[in-house]
A and B are shown apart, each in its own frame.
Chain A
Amino acid sequence: MSAGKISSGSEIDDPGYPTPEENYLTNSKGLLSWIFTLDHKRIGVMYLVGVSVAFLVAGLLAIGIRLHLMSPDGWFLETGAVKAITGDKPTNDVYNQVFTLHGAIMVFLFIIPSVPAALGNFLVPIMLGAKDVAFPRLNLSSFYLWMFGAFFFISALLASGLDTGWTFYTPYSTTSNTSVILATSGAFILGFSSIFTGLNFIVTINTMRPPGMTWFRMPLFLWATYATSIIQVLATPVLGITLLLLIAERTMHIGIFDPQYNGDPVTFQHFFWFYSHPAVYIMILPAFGVISELISVHSHKRIFGYRFVAYSSIAIALLGFLVWGHHMFTSGMSPVTTIIFSALTFSVSVPSAIKVFNWLATMYKGSISLTTPMVYAIVFIFLFTIGGLTGLHLGTLATDQHLHDSYFVVAHFHFVMVGGTLVAFLGGVFHWWPKMFGKMYSEKGGIASAALVFIGFLVTFLPQFILGSRGMPRRYATYDPEFQTLHVASSIGSLILGLGLFVALFVLLKSLFSKERAPANMWGGATLEWACTSPPPFYNFQRAPAVDDPYDFTDIVWDSVSERYVRVEPERKLAPEEQPAHAGE
């Protein structure tokens, strides 16, 4: 690893720089080099594969649910093919287990680790200009904890299913005959995986920043990741103890949550939501970070109100701890508490709205290129806004009495989690795919997938708002015939959505086999990951990267000869004392 004198600027295709052939994917070979890797990029890629598999499983379960609800008396789970697997279990029990596993796998195995663990692991050190995360071994162990937890979930699925819903509410979870203990142990382990990831990122961002990378030169994705990590560290342990007590309750009947021994189920709900409401922000905050990057890069315009977007991430993280009670309005909380929680719930919408307005303002008069990631980002803004606003209906005490536990809640949740997090995740994957693997996918295919996802999503979940407000309760295997039209529409939508996701998968996988190499700076981004080769070399940077404003696109221009973005001779805007004084490695 030689470090010559830095010449000028950061022209990356200069001689002496390693060729793209020497990268993190090729620097060592064999399965073992992946299994024992400490490289954050490889761990990120392994997470990406892992969460995608989990998503596939849970997604297929979701399609199973939707197909079942084609008919008021249930259809799909009654069919011969399914019966061949489930045996003589009553169909409604099977339905309970299918939706529980759909929820639990999606939440614990997919959404929570999707953006922070998969994209975050790959990007955080590179965006920061560091060689690796602060604790590479901890990072690898948190991946294996994730695998281990996933294994528990799968065994629960195979053993006897799980029918409590992903929330494990007592007293149902203390009396259910399904493998609650296996699943809660899985969630407990996954919690540790999540804590270690968050801890690692906080330390990395705090202590591993290279010279020149001040707090307010960090890309907004890092701010969002930082905020997420704070929640992971503060909230997840409470889930840990809750699940531990639940296991004790099931095995020893400790009587803390179980009314049979004078326990209090509402206390369980407090414990659970103290984690799980902030966990909702673990799911959505990194998506905000992704979108901030996407919008700015593809509009080729400085992000509007950088500091506001950055601070709003932290504000959401902290306010997220004050609102857990809005999940329990109908559970028998005291009236005073419900009013306080309802009022506080509205406060979260302020920083969220700040973000949306800032994204729109960034796009305004920007030079927008409608690339696949940008299309996904626009889809995100549209869907997330609907999801966020319908959240206010549910946060209002009076309307929540009517809408609670109805399809309205299902629709709201999916607008935020699928329309929000999943779409942002896909956008992020499309955005950084050329960086990760050095290959470019077919833009047409990518945009087609975005369009299918968008249409499929709306057809699936818009009817559910109507269903919910008309009184269709959630989690039911059968329903009144009057709801059938909307249910069928929703089911058809889910097929379109599924098709869109398969197209996205196909487009991405196909690109891996193409010969064409993606340039280092695919989109004309100014953050540090675009300053290294695609795919990045093993230690990310051969020499300390020159840290500059991450949203200053003035020096990056499209060179029509080489058909790629190049950085023109930069006029350094740094003050002399901020100049990196050396060329490190």
Chain B
Amino acid sequence: MATSEAGHSADQHAGDAHGHDHDHPDYLAHHFDTPEQQFDSGKLGMWLFLVTEVLFFSGMFCAYAIFRAWRPEVFEGCSQFLNTKLGAINTGVLLFSSFTMAWAVRASQLEEHKKTAALIATTLCCAMVFLGVKAVEYSHKWAMGLLPAGLFSYDENNPHPPGPNWLLYICMPFIVITIGVFLWMVFSWATKAKFQFQCAKPLFFVCLSFFGGVYLGTVLEPKVEDHAVHASADGHADAAEHAEGDPHAEGDSHAEGEAEAAGADEGEHTEEAHEAAPAEEETEEPVIELGSVVPKSGTMVDTSRDLEIQRKLASVEANSAVRDELNALERQDMNASGAITYHQTDDTSNTIAGSEEDVMRRSRAGVFFSIYYCMTGVHAIHILAGIGVLVWLLVRSLRKDFNRNYYGPVDYVGLYWHLVDLIWIYLFPLMYLIR
């Protein structure tokens, strides 16, 4: 197939022996003979790149399959925390952006320059809306402590602990960029830099649409809250309030720091904390419910201080007895929690005792959220990368670089964008629609 093309291209050159001058337009790289050869090469290259992307994601889908097959009930339970409405809206937004992208390819093939630029800008807006909604989803979950296994600190009795306003943090770079683009737009308008203004104007709307997405997300999030399992209050608004001037905020961040120190050495901590905590349920293993216990157990602080003292003592060379005791405690805890043996923690849930309520633990829900964050996070990184190349494409299309013999870049970026959409098409039902 490729041979015959090469053959054709050769024939085409047959008339003039060296076509370098007449036949090589600006857009044709020196080492290609015809625009079609260039287009085909680029396209095959892009397809191969997409193949690598598919295999890249396959690793995470594999992890998903393994853990879902292993513990379907965890996935069912945790999926309730994901907001189907937001997921569906994001799906729609991405599908629409795919449509505008495909349309942009058509427009560039037909040399409708204005339309191409407008459609690429629309695609960019959709991408930003998607990220805005995602930011709301993420910040909401972070505030609830629904984090990857090592950081997981969700407590069903206190699902909305006060904490920093994550949404604001996520928005911060976007705010900065928006202001920057706005200044650029004003500046280019003032200095009558026509082309720059032409570029800055759509980009400003693109930036604004991120906040449109954030607004959309915040409006929709609390409604679903009621039907989500435990929630009572509006997560991020709550969090925002507390972050403003809650004196307990510090203590809470202490708890988070605790959760972060996820090594085995924190286990005994848990044990003791658990004893101190009111026995609200009969957990078989007091494993890693650290996050859940910390905030409400008043004795917690003391325990940890004891521990600190003990650690300090142990660090002195002479206090071998304290150190041994500490080590023994740690080992005991590792045994008790099953952390030391492979899959040990798996056992309980196969027993009658292992039921729904201990799904919300690090080694259960935590792993689900790990997979959730890995998959959607890597997907979001791909969206960000897509935004980068789309901006480049927007500038080039405003420069009227593309024509019917040279629309390759639009087509290739389009392929990439559709692949990102394609992955979301699978991610959405796999993550959000588990019943």
Chain A partners chain B: yes
- Whether the pair B31, A255 counts as a contact (CB closer than 8 A) is no
Q: Which residues of B contact A267 (CB under 8 A)?
A: 62-63, 66
Residues 1-17 of chain B, each 1 if its beta carbon lies under 8 Å from chain A, else 0: 01101110011011001
Tell me, yes or no, whether A307 is within 8 Å of chain B by CB. no
Tell me, yes or no, whether A583 is within 8 Å of chain B by CB. yes
Asked if A195 meets B59 with Cβ closer than 8 Å, knowing A259-B343, A262-B345, the reply is no
Tell me, yes or no, whether B262 is within 8 Å of chain A by CB. yes
Q: Which residues of A contact B37 (CB under 8 A)?
A: 207-208
Which residue of chain A has its CB nearest to the CB of B62? A271
Q: Which of B18, B44, B367 contacts A263 (CB 8 A)?
A: B367
- Whether the pair A255, B366 counts as a contact (CB closer than 8 A) is yes
- Whether the pair A262, B59 counts as a contact (CB closer than 8 A) is no
Instruction: Kindly state the separation between the CA atoms of A132 and B67 in the bound complex, as whole angstroms.
Output: 47
Q: Which residues of B contact A136 (CB under 8 A)?
A: 29, 31
- Whether the pair A255, B6 counts as a contact (CB closer than 8 A) is no
Residues 245-267 of chain B, each 1 if its beta carbon lies under 8 Å from chain A, else 0: 00000000000000000101000
Chain B binding surface, main DSSP class: helix
Asked if A254 meets B2 with Cβ closer than 8 Å, knowing A131-B30, A238-B58, the reply is no
Q: Which of A203, A235, A585 contacts B41 (CB 8 A)?
A: A203
- Please report which residues of chain B, range 39-56, place their CB below 8 angstroms from some CB of chain A when the two chains form the complex: 40-41, 44-45, 48-49, 51-56
Instruction: Kindly state the separation between the CA atoms of A59 and B233 in the bound complex, as whole angstroms.
Output: 63
- Please report which residues of chain A, range 182-221, place their CB below 8 angstroms from some CB of chain B when the two chains form the complex: 195, 199-200, 202-204, 206-211, 213-215
Tell me, yes or no, whether A345 is within 8 Å of chain B by CB. no
Instruction: Kindly state the separation between the CA atoms of A210 and B11 in the bound complex, as whole angstroms.
Output: 11
- Please report which residues of chain A, range 262-307, place their CB below 8 angstroms from some CB of chain B when the two chains form the complex: 262-265, 267, 271
Tell me, yes or no, whether A360 is within 8 Å of chain B by CB. no
- Whether the pair B52, A264 counts as a contact (CB closer than 8 A) is no
Tell me, yes or no, whether A256 is within 8 Å of chain B by CB. yes
Asked if A207 meets B31 with Cβ closer than 8 Å, knowing A256-B367, A262-B343, the reply is no
Which residue of chain B has its CB nearest to the CB of A204? B41
Tell me, yes or no, whether B346 is within 8 Å of chain A by CB. yes
A268 to chain B, nearest CB (A): 10
Tell me, yes or no, whether B386 is within 8 Å of chain A by CB. no
Q: Which residues of B contact A203 (CB under 8 A)?
A: 41, 44-45, 48
Tell me, yes or no, whether A85 is within 8 Å of chain B by CB. no
Residues 329-363 of chain B, each 1 if its beta carbon lies under 8 Å from chain A, else 0: 00000000001011101100000000000000011
- Whether the pair B370, A256 counts as a contact (CB closer than 8 A) is yes
Which residue of chain A has its CB nearest to the CB of B337? A260
Tell me, yes or no, whether A248 is within 8 Å of chain B by CB. yes
- Whether the pair A253, B5 counts as a contact (CB closer than 8 A) is no
- Whether the pair A2, B63 counts as a contact (CB closer than 8 A) is no
Which residue of chain B has its CB nearest to the CB of A583? B17
Asked if A262 meets B44 with Cβ closer than 8 Å, knowing A206-B2, A253-B150, the reply is no
Q: Which residues of B contact A265 (CB under 8 A)?
A: 342
Tell me, yes or no, whether B20 is within 8 Å of chain A by CB. yes
Q: Which residues of A contact B59 (CB under 8 A)?
A: 237-238, 241-242, 245, 271
Residues 141-160 of chain B, each 1 if its beta carbon lies under 8 Å from chain A, else 0: 00000011111000000000
Asked if A261 meets B363 with Cβ closer than 8 Å, knowing A203-B41, A203-B44, A581-B10, the reply is yes
Contact-residue size bin, chain B (C-beta under 8 Å from the other chain): 35 or more
Interface centre among B30, B54, B346 (most CB of A within 10 A): B30
Instruction: Kindly state the separation between the CA atoms of A258 and B60 in the bound complex, as whole angstroms.
Output: 15
- Whether the pair B53, A237 counts as a contact (CB closer than 8 A) is yes
B60 to chain A, nearest CB (A): 6
Tell me, yes or no, whether A35 is within 8 Å of chain B by CB. no
Tell me, yes or no, whether A233 is within 8 Å of chain B by CB. yes
Interface centre among A132, A202, A241, A267 (most CB of B within 10 A): A241
Tell me, yes or no, whether B364 is within 8 Å of chain A by CB. yes
B15 to chain A, nearest CB (A): 8
- Whether the pair A240, B10 counts as a contact (CB closer than 8 A) is no
Which residue of chain A has its CB nearest to the CB of B29? A136
Instruction: Kindly state the separation between the CA atoms of A263 and B362 in the bound complex, as whole angstroms.
Output: 11
- Whether the pair B367, A254 counts as a contact (CB closer than 8 A) is yes
- Whether the pair B41, A262 counts as a contact (CB closer than 8 A) is no
Which residue of chain B has its CB nearest to the CB of A138? B45
A565 to chain B, nearest CB (A): 29
- Whether the pair A2, B14 counts as a contact (CB closer than 8 A) is no
Tell me, yes or no, whether A479 is within 8 Å of chain B by CB. no
Which residue of chain B has its CB nearest to the CB of A242? B59
- Whether the pair A2, B18 counts as a contact (CB closer than 8 A) is yes
- Whether the pair B52, A195 counts as a contact (CB closer than 8 A) is yes
Tell me, yes or no, whether A447 is within 8 Å of chain B by CB. no
Tell me, yes or no, whether B374 is within 8 Å of chain A by CB. yes
Asked if A237 meets B31 with Cβ closer than 8 Å, knowing A253-B150, A262-B363, A263-B367, the reply is no
Asked if A582 meets B17 with Cβ closer than 8 Å, knowing A195-B52, A245-B59, A254-B367, the reply is yes
Instruction: Kindly state the separation between the CA atoms of A254 and B366 in the bound complex, as whole angstroms.
Output: 7
- Whether the pair A207, B2 counts as a contact (CB closer than 8 A) is yes
Tell me, yes or no, whether A32 is within 8 Å of chain B by CB. no
Q: Which of B40, B148, B264, B341 contacts A252 (CB 8 A)?
A: B148
Q: Which of A244, A253, A582 contacts B148 (CB 8 A)?
A: A253
Which residue of chain A has its CB nearest to the CB of B344? A259
Query: Can you give 14 contacting A-B residue pairs, CB < 8 Å?
Result: A136-B29, A202-B48, A207-B44, A208-B41, A235-B55, A238-B55, A241-B57, A245-B374, A252-B148, A259-B343, A261-B149, A581-B11, A585-B18, A585-B20
Q: List 14 other contacts, CB 8 Å, given A237-B59, A252-B151.
A: A3-B17, A202-B48, A203-B41, A203-B48, A207-B6, A208-B6, A209-B6, A214-B3, A255-B150, A259-B339, A259-B343, A263-B367, A544-B10, A582-B17
Q: What are the 4 closest A-B residue pairs judged by CB atoms, nearest first? A: A253-B150, A255-B149, A241-B59, A254-B370
